Amino acid sequence: MPAHNPEFIEQCASFTDLFLQLGLPGEPQQIADFITQHRPLPDTVLLPDAPFWSTAQAQFLREQRQADEPPFNMLIDQLSEALRD
Residues 11-46 have pLDDT tens digits of 555 788 899 999 999 998 999 999 999 999 999 999
pTM: 0.80
Chain mean pLDDT for the chain: 85
Residue pair 62/53 in contact by the 8 Å Cβ criterion = no
Say which range, 41-50, 66-75, 76-85, has the weakest mean pLDDT.
66-75
Q: Are 82 and 35 in contact (CB under 8 A)?
A: yes
Region at 52 (left for phi over 0; alpha for psi -120 to 50; beta for the rest): alpha
Mean pLDDT for the stretch of residues 76-81: 92
Backbone phi and psi for residue 71, each to the nearest 5 degrees, phi listed first: -95, -15
